[in-house]
Amino acid sequence: MELSKTGEAAPPKQRHAPLALLIVAMLLIGPLLVTIGSVLVAGNNHLLATGTRVAGTVIDVHDGPESSDRRFGAEYFAADSSRHVIWADWVSHAKPKLRDTVTVVYRQDDPGSAVIAGYGTPGEFVQGLGIVLTVIVGGTGVVMLVSGRRGNRKRSRERL
């Protein structure tokens, strides 16, 4: 047991370093995910603006209980007659049905690189996850910092 300068038992040292490191890491990961997601979204927007448009056919629809489980696959044929399948997310008001026709936009020099016009992309998910991490972890970190400072002030007043 440690003794203070007055000879009394010193309060135990708090070990918040691992938690603080975790919060700092999450605060760095959140903005990194936002940046990566933004780059992916910008690339998809560029592809939507400049890519080759073809009709695709919905061949599979996954309707899970969570929004992250709502995905569908569409088949399309590129100009060179090669067959490709792309997956996209759908929101509750835009659920596709089997054999629906969708607009697929692909890169002419890489027909496997494509997006489905009007539906979600992985970049949007990554960007959203980064925003959620930043807000939740940042908010938690601020609350912990404020409450920790208040607790330190209160303990220092009690010692006097």
b/e map 141-156, b = 16+ CB within 10 Å: beeeeeeeeeeeeeee
Whether residue 17 is predicted with pLDDT greater than 80 in this model: the reply is no
Query: Looking at the domain assignment, is residue 14 inside a domain?
Result: no
Burial degree of 124 (CB within 10 A; 0-12, 13-18, 19+): middle
The answer to whether position 108 is within a domain reads yes
- pLDDT tier at 6 (50, 70, 90 boundaries)? low
Asked if residue 54 belongs to a domain, the reply is yes
Number of domains in the chain: 1
pLDDT at 116: 92
CATH number at residue 116: 2.40.50
In a domain, 53, yes or no: yes
Residues 90/119, Cβ–Cβ less than 8 Å: yes
pLDDT of residue 52: 95
Look at residue 129 and tell me if it is in a domain: no
Whether pLDDT at 85 is above 90? yes
Q: Is residue 89 part of a domain?
A: yes
Cα separation of the two ends of the chain: 21
Which structural domain range is residue 50 located in? Answer: 42-122
Lowest mean pLDDT among 6-10, 17-21, 96-100: 6-10
**pLDDT at 84 > cutoff 80:** yes
In this model, does residue 92 exceed pLDDT 60? yes
Q: What is the pLDDT of residue 18?
A: 76
Q: Average of pLDDT values for 129-142?
A: 83
Is 57 inside a domain boundary? Answer: yes
Q: Assess if residue 156 is contained within a domain.
A: no
